[in-house]
Chain A
């Protein structure tokens, strides 16, 4: 290598105040990156559209159905009719229109799952942040976690149903009361990991208030995990609700839910498969699409996958 060449390579740059202040990705926006990353996955976008269309359609389906759920009466002459022009999804063992029952049940399941997911997220993240950030809270909360986590969920929900009663509000509250644990645990582990990183120490030394450290410095790392947890929580809630309703401890006999439909269908669907297939397909579509979309959003939300 000649001397001339090296001089060329290491030329002194003139100092400019403007250039010194410039940073790499000045127009970086967290949520725009999430959105861009998400749009790159065509299959996830498709799933998201299917999910939204289904949710919207549960409302439309009830509106365009020929029967209202509240006005259903049992009719001996129309039992076990297959899907036809009058009864789009056929009729059940009591001769009631199955279309409105299935869609109503799907709507109830979605509502419950969303309410529980939001509740879980709020309670779980709040407690998880405290749990991870406040040192002396770690011990009691860990013990509390161990105790609640070791009571089988179904037993707990059963006791609630018997002692408090059955109903949408009670069930949602009970599910949130136990569901925040997992969320809080995940959040706590992450907060614990990031709270003493150098940049947070620097932030604290500069006098940043605790809430700002939590919200601005740590929270962005949590979003991905929170979304992943939500993606699992919605299918989980629908599954738990159907299990409980099947055991007779769910929303009560007056509210049609997936579990109740399948419980009624249990004795008949070997002879009349449409009683199983219709609710099964709809609910599976809802849970599978949400699960996949949630996973994709969670990947997109992880700052490590950005830029």
Chain B
């Protein structure tokens, strides 16, 4: 177990390292003009700009820059923002945005886990009856309609009929986060419901359930004590990953409601070529995703003693 954990951890680190390197090289392929704000573009002539780039080390050959970047990476230092907030360190920009995304993400996740699992259980219990069909229609809708369209519908409904604020604002974080949270939860509820239903239906045809029925256990307690307990194990595997990814915020939801969170920061940084901020964000996203998958596997092993990943080493 310990050996397996260490091996997986090292593998995860290597993957993050490769991703960050690829993105670094890609960002360095952009024209250097982008390193200046419009104001700076007009103020400085070519020579000054060249000197500034030289001083910042941005004209060095890419391997040299990459090496310098790795040294920063060891100390988790991504340098300073060049364009979003000139001269402020990447970490302090990210930290501010992080809390906003995290608040929305955690609430949305709690709601969707609760609602999604309950919906899935109801569907599984009433298989092929009304509740099941309602749930299926909902899952098909979420899976096939583009999120932009469904968010627009949520917005139209929320703002016109419920009179909720249509844009996020920091002065009024309570009511104005209802719609973004609803949008975030909309898709993940369907996800949890779908998988809960599927695992429960699979589980309830097994022999030990038949035995429990023959013994005369009430179907209520079979559902809760046997079926749900076992069906929850594969579901639990995804919880850490989605928990950590909510911290990163959703690009579309945040843009759609002008939430000043991680997602908006990321697109802003890329649009304005703030390479250091992009690096920091990509590193954060990649590591959150990979750590999430890793924790999910560990959690599954803890929950279900039958699962032993260490032997095969293949988790996928």
Hey, which bits of chain A sit against chain B, CB under 8 A?
142, 146-147, 150-152, 154-155, 158-159, 162-163, 232, 235, 238-239, 242-243, 246-249, 258-259, 262, 265-266, 269-270, 273, 276, 279-280, 283-284, 287-288, 290-292
Contacts and interface: CB of A to CB of B under 8 A. Distances in A.
Contacts of A283: 145-146, 149
Interface in B157-213: 159-160, 166
21 contacts: A142-B316, A147-B15, A150-B19, A151-B286, A152-B289, A155-B23, A159-B26, A159-B270, A162-B270, A162-B271, A232-B143, A235-B144, A242-B149, A243-B251, A246-B255, A247-B251, A247-B255, A248-B271, A270-B156, A283-B146, A288-B145
A232 B140 CA distance: 11
B108 interface: no
Interface in B118-146: 140-141, 143-146
B255 A269 contact: no
B147 interface: yes
Contacts of B10: none
A150 B15 contact: yes
A238 B140 contact: no
Nearest to B14: A143
Contacts of B140: 288, 291-292
B146 A239 contact: yes
B153 interface: yes
Contact of B145 (A158, A163, A259, A284): A284
B141 A288 contact: yes
A102 to B, nearest CB: 13
A162 B156 contact: no
Contacts of A259: 148
A258 B270 contact: no
B155 to A, nearest CB: 8
B91 interface: no
B285 interface: yes
Contacts of B19: 147, 150-151
B289 A284 contact: no
B266 interface: yes
A45 B290 CA distance: 42
Given A243-B251, A258-B148, A262-B152, 18 more contacts: A150-B289, A151-B23, A151-B282, A152-B285, A158-B267, A159-B23, A159-B26, A232-B143, A239-B148, A243-B252, A259-B148, A262-B148, A265-B152, A273-B156, A284-B149, A287-B144, A290-B144, A292-B144
Contacts of B147: 239, 242-243
Contacts of A249: 267
A13 B202 CA distance: 45
Contacts of A158: 267, 270
B256 interface: yes
Interface string B216-250: 00000000000000000000000000000000000
A217 B316 CA distance: 25
Nearest to A246: B148
B46 to A, nearest CB: 23
A246 B256 contact: yes
Interface string B278-313: 000010011001100000000000000000000000
B30 A162 contact: yes
Nearest to A238: B146
Nearest to B146: A239
Contacts of A276: 152-153, 156
B18 interface: yes
A146 B140 CA distance: 28
A290 to B, nearest CB: 8
A175 to B, nearest CB: 14
A162 to B, nearest CB: 7
B108 to A, nearest CB: 18
Given A151-B23, A163-B30, A288 B152 contact: no
Contacts of B16: 150
Contacts of A232: 143
Contacts of A159: 23, 26-27, 270
Interface string B22-65: 11001101100000000000000000000000000000000000
B264 to A, nearest CB: 10
A262 B19 CA distance: 33
Given A146-B15, A246-B255, A247-B252, A155 B285 contact: yes
B271 A235 contact: no
Contact of B146 (A151, A163, A242, A290): A242
A150 B270 CA distance: 18
